[in-house]
Chain A
Amino acid sequence: MDLNTVVTITPARVRSDLSALGDTVAPLAGGSELFADPRAHLTGLVDLQAFGWPALTVTGAGLEIAATCTLAQLAALPAGPGWTAHPLLFECCTALYGSFKVWNVATVGGNLATALPAGPMTSLAAALDAEVLVWRRDGSDERLPAADFVTGDMTTVLGTGDVLRSIHIPEASLRARTAFRKIALSPIGRSGAVVIGRLDRDGRFTLTVTAATLRPVQLRYDAIPAAAELRADVAGIDAWFTDAHGAADWRAAVSAVLAEEIRHQLEAPESGTTPTESEARP
């Protein structure tokens, strides 16, 4: 929709251009979220696309995703050698409520910074223990775990004038085995729970619960836990919430169901043939 109060678009080409940001001037990436809500307090936008950041950079240390990388670019990224977790990139994109046409503009950084509980890039980044790089307004850089970047329903660590610059997925996570489950109140509707399991090469197991909780919740184990232990730990999560996409009690219950499916899947020996170990849950 039109943002009728916006009178300036400032292309950000160098970092100092971000000084235009303020209480009434917001950063613009793809725009699919920004333009989907009336924002009468805004007078200007700073266009981050003008930076021209490379969308995806593969290094020996892993994958660096620019905040302005679109979901379409991420979903189309070919697998690097040994990236067992590669299917998760596409799977998390499918958990976006928006269509593939939204993927063409929506950005990884924008999805994280919007910080909806159902934000699938939050799910992805948290599940793979990504680290995010924040450009603070004062010119400093800050790196922190993606799971800590989102602090609640539509809240993040970003202050006014801060910008999310990039997301770094460590190589070890890309080489892990993952299992992805999503459930909603309709077959492919807005997520009620997105639960992702990651089994590292050293045997450590991490379960990341998103969409069902106000912020990402991670359960970590040195090895795949027993069903009862995992069930008890999921039951111990205290951040379930209720909205139009599911009641808190249901979200807790189905997260436990999905967690057990994931545990069961990753407990089984690695299959050498299937490209993805995840199963679509219609």
Chain B
Amino acid sequence: MRFEINGQWVDAAAAPGQCLRTFLRELEHFEVKKGCDTGDCGACSVLVDGTPVHSCVYPAFRAEGTAITTAAGLGTPGSLAPVQQRFVDHAGFQCGFCTPGMVVTASTLTEHDLEDLPRLLKGNICRCTGYRAIDDAIHGRHTPADGSAPCALPADGLGPVVRTGTRATTQAGQTPTAPTPPARGYVGSSTHAPASERVVSGLEPYTLDVAVPGLLHVSVLQSPHAHARIRSIDTGRAAALPGVHAVLTHTDSPATLFSTARHEDRTDDPDDTLVFDRVLRFRGQRVAAVVADTVAIAEAACRLIEVEYDLLPAVFDPVLAAAPGAPLVHGEKDAAASRVADPSRNLVAELHGEYGDLEAGLGEATHLVTGTWQTQRVAHTHLETHGTIGWLEHAGTPEQRLVLRTSSQVPFLVQREICHIFDLDPAAVRVFTARVGGGFGGKQEILTEDLVSLAVLATGRPVQYEFSRSDEFRVAPTRHPMRVGVTLGATDDGRLTALALDVLSDTGAYGNHGPGVMYHGSSESVSLYSVPNKRVDARSVYTNNLPSGAFRGYGLGQVIFGVESALDDLARDLGVSPFDLRRLNSVRPGDPLVVTHVEGDDLIFGSYGLDQCLDLAEAALARGNGVPVPTGPEWRVGEGMATAMIATVPPRGHFAQASVTLCADGRYAVRVGTAEFGNGTTTVHTQLAATALGTSPDRIDILQSDTDTIGYDTGAFGSAGVVVAGKAVLGASTALAAVLRQAAADARPGTPADAWLLEPDGLRCGSTAVSLTELAARAAAAAPAGDASVSTTPVDPTDVGTTPVDPISIGSAPAPSAPAALTTPPTAAPEPAPSSTVLRGTSSEDGAVRSVAFNVQAFRVAVSTLTGEVRILQSIQAADAGVVMNPAQCRGQIEGGVAQAIGTALFEEVLLDGEGTVTTSVLRNYHVPLLADLPVTEVYFAETTDELGPYGAKSMSESPYNPVAPALANAVRDAIGIRPYELPMSRDRIWRLMHP
């Protein structure tokens, strides 16, 4: 059929049952994204003859004779449509995966529509931003961070983020301070993401946005049973189907047990998983997979696989799972070999410890509070589902390499584990990511890479495996549901004398992240408070529910919900303000950080802004925001707050290497391992390099998240992108700056190196100047012939994986340096290149010493006694982010974290039927926040300078999420006089509290 795409006539045939989304992507219009495939998220929005539709539910055959417009048809980099430009100007995206659909939708709105925007945008889900920036972008206005009335935006960029409060006293550190006021593009300025123009036009390639000739597809047969053993499996009919290249089952699986969870230390997680297991422990687990020419053939072949199962008893309730006599999920595992605490009790991990004397502390108390809180399963709902494309490079030769292009936060850890599972040499595996469409912890797992590796190795062909949205809900790990018992004791003066925790975490059928989430959940939630007597009892247990995994906050949010709710009850009991209760009992610099023992000296107060955060949030709440209480006698009003602390780096090592090279064209190439998934680290890395090198961000190219690009990076988790990887980038940039000064001095004899100043085009020493291109040329001329150790070829980061060519070259940016040894973390900085041959700075960072960051959230709410509706009248977050590297972006991280947490607090719940089947398997049954659901959150930054982070920065990705649910629960409690103990605080639950 003939139709037009973005003004060009196309003649192509669609399959009868094909939807327009996949048809357009087949035609390499990768700007049309898949978020849900059910018409709910809007990422695939296109215009058909000017009418916006969700192309995933639009029959492709109806496109005949029409004119289709995609995001790329609205405008392209350099010639953006006004609406696209506004999304750039207002930082109206983070991961950007929803943005093409958002922009297409917004392009159809008129001035008159803006009042009705919440309704008109209900079919466009953004999981990252919290929508304020999107709302501003569509309106073309700027809402100040203090939530006051929006103003017209100055044409050249974002307005300043409000800063109040006094600068905290910190120790004098080695860290250079940021220039003030920040120069455009330097740290401290609201620099736009380097990929902005490509993102808003849909031309930034994500994981699967690449055309690979000869690509095969995977479809998985999933277990219909919660616990069963495969008695027999007959793949004969499936294998015989034309177009099928392989049918893979447990007989093809490597025997190496591993964990889907990825950490710096692989022994952090139990080895309890196989690529294919003969025993199925949750509904949806892989039984078999078909590799075929098309998804349709693979699906058809899956239906032809005949399996006989022996059903096994199953357990779904973590309390029952921990009880004697419960069906055992991994009963056959060797505890030591698999690192499972006690397979005979479904116990993955446990922690029992006491500091001081809890009984004595409780005895001393005059006020006691106790309660048990329950959190639910939450789905990450990153808009880009999990997916991997794999292929062989130099197939059949000694140089054969398996290459994986995957949607991961941890490409280097994936590489390591794929090598472990398949017994491959690190040099034989390359893993890289394109821009990743959101993660929130969900991509700190191996969910598709292992199967693609097996399929590629089995067929020798390029293979793609893409999760559906239903796979995300039914198979991908969720946030760990936790039961959290808290007991607090205090004396009349408000001082805590005892704090006890009893945590039961449902890790589901596999133990990925089970131990880590349990330990981390019980750490900063407890160590935040100076209490002489503490006890923690925590268990993480297997059940036959779908696995739980890493989720933003990594356990802290669940436990903080209990602890901060209990503190609120204590404040009521004592008759003191909840702010004052925190002021009295929170740790201060100099205090020991204690969970069940004093934390090691790797965790320090590199800065301290909790006092400022409490003041800022309290003042904002007292000030109010003028939003009226709804009329009617049924509305009750309340206020609440909660606090959270987080270590700025995960414990026990988080490694990053970076290099910065001056290229022949005078531009800088930054090589760093961490991935960009909407966290904005690429922007900050650009700013860090620009600041250290005295240049502007547009002269810096970032090459990242590729095991070929740089030696090593533990990964983009634990909020490490700025404080670890960023610190390495800063180190490398600073080293290069010194190299350049020396090179300039060498080029102009008689000038001292330290007299040279770096400028965007070159270096200057008084009236003497030398251009960067000259220095690069001099260095190249001095290099021995054939030295390819480091390329100085100018790079084009937009070229990563976009050229539809032989898959071998997919994703290869510049000629990479040889991969360093990958089996062990680096212990020292890579050898700096001699400045006479290559102008390059390198650095590595080990994250060995960690600081702490703080967040305080406060709410004013109105609750309807008739319906249980919780209406947020005011939302406030004060954050201690150290020196804020990029105010607009950091504000966006906080707004997005608050938004995701409001979803957790009020709406979201992955429901199971009690027998292991997820019933909320599509987006329309799992409500993630929409524009209509969220208030503008006022964001305030404490003024602190961290002695560890680059230019004094601290991490601020996970932590904004953590205090939100208890702050909201405390406000609801204040309003209705009844304590909510369970999340989400859905309208039906809140109504039932008042109508028992």
- Minimum distance in angstroms from A213 CB to a CB of chain B: 15
Chain A proximity mask over B963-996: 1 for CB below 8 Å, otherwise 0 = 0000000000000000000000011100110010
A90 vs chain B, min Cβ distance (A): 11
Query: C-beta contact mask, B928-964 vs A, less than 8 Å → 1, else 0?
Result: 0110110000000000000000000000000000000
Q: How far is the CB of B209 from chain A (nearest CB, A)?
A: 18
B contact residues around A4 at 8 Å (CB): 15, 17, 294-296, 299-300
Q: What string of 1s and 0s marks CB contacts (under 8 Å) between A176-201 and chain B?
A: 00000001011111101000000000
Q: In angstroms, how far is the closest chain A Cβ from the Cβ of B347?
A: 32
CA distance A186 to B934 in the complex (A): 10
Contact B38 A247 (CB under 8 A): no
B57 contacts A250, C-beta separation under 8 Å: no
Q: Which of B296, B926, B933 contacts A2 (CB 8 A)?
A: B296
Which residues on B sit within 8 Å (CB–CB) of A243?
A: 919, 925
Stretch from A36-44, A126-134, A141-149 contacting the other chain: A36-44
In the bound complex, residues from chain B placing their C-beta under 8 Å from that of A251 are 988
Smallest CB separation, A174 vs chain B (Å): 24
Chain A residues whose CB sits within 8 angstroms of the CB of B52 once the complex forms = 100-101, 104
Give the dominant DSSP class at A's interface: loop
In chain A, positions 1-47 with a C-beta closer than 8 Å to chain B are 1-9, 28, 31-37, 40, 42, 44-45
1/0 per position for A39-59, CB-CB distance to B under 8 A?
010101100010000000000
Are the C-beta atoms of B38 and A186 separated by less than 8 Å? no
Residues of A within 8 A of B919 (CB): 243-244
Verify if A139 is at the interface (C-beta below 8 Å from B): no
A282 CB, min distance to chain B CBs, angstroms: 7
A99 touches B122 (CB 8 A): yes
1/0 per residue, CB under 8 A from A, across B193-234: the answer is 000000000000000000000000000000000000000000
Question: A7–B300 Cα gap in the complex (Å)?
Answer: 13
Chain A residues contacting B986 (CB-CB under 8 Å) are 185
| B748 contacts partner chain A, Cβ-Cβ < 8 Å | no
Decide yes or no whether A102 CB sits under 8 A from chain B. Answer: yes
CA distance A183 to B868 in the complex (A): 11
Q: Is A105 an interface residue (CB 8 A)?
A: yes
* A83 surroundings in chain B (CB, below 8 A): none
* B907 surroundings in chain A (CB, below 8 A): 185-186, 189
Q: Is the CB of B296 within 8 A of A105?
A: no
Are A282 and B299 CB-contacts (below 8 A) given A1-B19, A1-B56, A6-B16?
no
Count chain A residues whose beta carbon lies closer than 8 angstroms to a beta carbon of B.
51
Give the complex CA separation of A257 and B925 in angstroms. Answer: 24
Assess whether B815 is interfacial by the CB under 8 Å rule. Answer: no
Cβ contact within 8 Å between B118 and A188 = yes
User: A101 near B105 (CB under 8 angstroms)?
Assistant: yes
Given contacts A6-B17, A36-B39, A42-B17, whether A99 and B920 have CB atoms under 8 Å apart is: no
Interface bits B19-61 vs A (CB < 8 Å: 1, else 0) = 1001000000000000001111010010000011110111101
Q: Which residues of A contact B925 (CB under 8 A)?
A: 190, 243-245
Task: Check if A35 sits within 8 Å of B59, measured CB to CB.
Answer: yes
Complex interface: chain B residues within 8 A of A223 (CB): none
Check B19 against A35 for contact (C-beta < 8 Å): yes
Q: A2-B15, A187-B932 known; A37 and B38 CB under 8 Å?
A: yes
The reply to whether the CB of B867 lies closer than 8 angstroms to some CB of chain A is yes
Interface magnitude class on chain B = 35 or more
Q: Mark A91-120, 1 if CB is under 8 A from B, else 0.
A: 000100111111011000000000000000
Q: Are B19 and A2 in contact (CB under 8 A)?
A: yes
Contacts of B924 in A (CB 8 A): 97, 190
Is the C-beta of A246 less than 8 angstroms from some C-beta in chain B? yes
CA distance A51 to B53 in the complex (A): 22
Interface flag for A253 (CB, 8 Å): yes
Q: Give min CB distance, B531 to chain A, whole Å.
A: 38
Chain B contacts for A2, CB-based, 8 A: 15, 17-19, 22, 295-296
B119 within 8 A of A: yes
CB contacts (< 8 Å) of A187 on chain B: these are 118, 932-933
A254 within 8 A of B: yes
Report A234-252 residues with CB < 8 Å from chain B CB: 243-247, 249-251
Q: A4-B296, A36-B38 are in contact. Are A246 and B123 (CB under 8 A)?
A: no
Q: How far, in angstroms, from A42 to B17 measured CA to CA in the complex?
A: 10
B45 nearest CB neighbor, chain A only: A101
Asked if B303 CB lies within 8 Å of chain A CBs, one says: yes
Cβ of B428 to closest chain A Cβ, rounded Å: 35
Contact yes or no, A185 B58, CB < 8 A: no
- Taken together as a complex, chains A and B put the C-alpha atoms of A104 and B120 apart, in Å, by 12
User: In whole angstroms, how far apart are the Cα atoms of A8 and B866 in the complex?
Assistant: 52
Contact B119 A186 (CB under 8 A): no
Q: Mark B103-136, 1 if CB is under 8 A from A, else 0.
A: 0010000000000001111111000000000000
The reply to whether B988 and A101 contact each other, CB–CB distance below 8 Å, is no
Q: Which residues from B are CB-within-8-Å of A3?
A: 17-19
Q: Which residues of A contact B42 (CB under 8 A)?
A: 99, 101
* Cβ B867 vs Cβ A254 within 8 A: yes
Q: Is the CB of B123 within 8 A of A100?
A: yes
Q: Which among A9, A186, A250 has the highest number of chain B CB atoms within 10 Å?
A: A186
Q: How far is the CA of A101 from the CA of B121 in the complex (A)?
A: 9
Residue of B45, B59, B105, B120 near A31 (CB, 8 A) is B59
Q: How far is the CA of A1 from the CA of B927 in the complex (A)?
A: 20
**Chain A, 177-234, CB within 8 A of any chain B CB:** 183, 185-190, 192
Q: Is the CB of A247 within 8 A of B992?
A: yes
CA A253 – CA B866 in complex, angstroms?
8
* B911 interfacial by beta-carbon distance below 8 Å: yes
CA of A42 to CA of B300, assembled, Å:
12
The reply to whether the CB of B906 lies closer than 8 angstroms to some CB of chain A is: yes
Please name the residue on chain A nearest to B109 by beta carbon: A100
Report yes or no: A186 in contact with B933, Cβ–Cβ below 8 A: yes
Q: Does B837 have its Cβ within 8 Å of any Cβ on chain A?
A: no
B771 within 8 A of A: no
**Residues B300 and A5 in contact, CB atoms below 8 Å apart:** yes
Residue of B40, B59, B925, B986 ringed by the most chain A CB atoms within 10 A: B59
Contact among A1, A5, A33, A282 for B932, CB-based, below 8 A:
A282
Complexed CA–CA distance, A196 and B285 (Å):
45
Q: Which of A5, A28, A99, A186 sits near B123, CB closer than 8 Å? A: A99
Chain A's nearest CB lies how many Å from the CB of B743? 57
Please give the distance in Å from B400's CB to the nearest CB on chain A.
Answer: 33
B170 touches A (CB below 8 Å): no
Given A186-B906, A186-B907, A188-B122: A101 and B53 within 8 A (CB)? Answer: yes
- Check if B468 is an interface residue, CB within 8 A of chain A: yes
- Which residues of B sit under 8 angstroms from A253, Cβ to Cβ? 866-867, 991, 995
Residues of A within 8 A of B926 (CB): 244
When chains A and B are docked, how far (Å) is the Cα of A159 from the Cα of B22?
32
Q: For A7, give its contact among B16, B39, B122, B906 (CB under 8 Å).
A: B16
Set of chain A residues within 8 Å of B871, measured between Cβ atoms: 282
| Bound complex: CA A187 to CA B927 (Å) | 11
Please name all residues of chain A whose beta carbon is closer than 8 Å to the beta carbon of B18 when the two chains form the complex. Answer: 2-3
CB <8 Å contact, A189 and B927: yes
Q: List residues of chain A with CB within 8 A of the CB of B866.
A: 253-254, 257
In whole Å, how far is B548's beta carbon from the nearest beta carbon of chain A? 19
A183: chain B residues at CB < 8 Å are 867, 987
Bound-state Cα–Cα, A98 to B41, Å: 10
Known A-B contacts A5-B300, A40-B303, A249-B992; the reply to A102 vs B933 at CB < 8 A is no
Chain A's nearest CB lies how many Å from the CB of B145?
Answer: 24
Are B58 and A105 touching (Cβ within 8 A)?
yes
- Chosen A-B contacts, 16 in total, with CB atoms closer than 8 Å, are A1-B37, A2-B15, A4-B15, A9-B16, A40-B299, A101-B54, A105-B58, A185-B987, A186-B929, A186-B933, A188-B932, A190-B924, A244-B920, A244-B926, A250-B868, A253-B866
Closest 8 pairs (CB-CB, A-B): A99-B123, A6-B17, A3-B17, A250-B988, A4-B296, A1-B37, A36-B38, A35-B57
Chain B residues packing against A (C-beta within 8 Å): 15-19, 22, 37-40, 42, 45, 51-54, 56-59, 61-62, 105, 118-124, 294-296, 299-300, 303, 468, 866-868, 871, 906-907, 909, 911, 919-920, 922, 924-927, 929-930, 932-933, 986-988, 991-992, 995
